[in-house]
Amino acid sequence: MIRVTVEHLGLDRSTNTPVVILREEDGERALPIWIGSSEANAIAMELQGIHAQRPMTHDLLRDIVAGLGGELQRVQITDLRDDTYFAELLIVREGKVVQVDARPSDSIALALRCDAPIFTTDGLLDRGMDAGRRDPAPQEAKDPDALRRYLEKLDPQDFGRFHL
């Protein structure tokens, strides 16, 4: 598993869909994941340090895990099937690891709130935007080298401004 961080959160202009870009910590590969607007809002709020007066869903989940004596050890984005990404929460409680199936968007929002690392596989990073994407990149970005060059040139402005 390769550790990744949230590099960008924005709006894919071609589909008007929020997209989160994860980049490998010690490398150049990136993994874009298209997400729902409420999950994008939860991620954006945490990235910007904005906290609601009352707990939002991901805050509540963090508090439940902690209240039950658990700790989010890590998030793993594990698979892509039929254009859908899969993720797992690894929660440690009383020395035992509990593995919970979750959507990547929820997993990322929770990882940010728990200061937990996010990991993915070499295979998903290698596939980059080619797998499960909605064609936001130029046609030539379908080969890995062109994709890498395309991602290197990306600027957060390329996705437009994400407004809360």
Give mean pLDDT, residues 123-128: 88
Measured between its terminal Cα atoms, the distance across the chain in Å is 32
**Mean pLDDT value of segment 114-137:** 75
> What does the pLDDT read at residue 66?
96
pLDDT of residue 58: 95
* Averaged pLDDT of the chain: 84
Residue 32 has pLDDT above 60, yes or no: yes
Are 118 and 107 within 8 A, CB to CB? yes
Residues in CB range of 101: below 8 A, 6 or more apart: 86, 87, 88
Instruction: Kindly report the pTM of this predicted structure.
Output: 0.78
Residue range 106-117: average pLDDT? Answer: 97
Domains of the chain: 2-133 (3.10.690.10)
Mind listing the pLDDT tens digit for each residue in 73-108?
999 999 999 989 999 999 999 999 999 999 999 999
List C-alpha distances in Å: 5 to 52, 66, 94, 113: 24, 23, 28, 13
What mean pLDDT do residues 135-154 have? 49
pLDDT score at 159:
46
Structure tokens at 101: 């199936």
Q: How far apart are CA 117 and CA 135, in angstroms?
A: 28
pLDDT digits over 33-56, tens only? 999 999 999 999 999 999 889 999
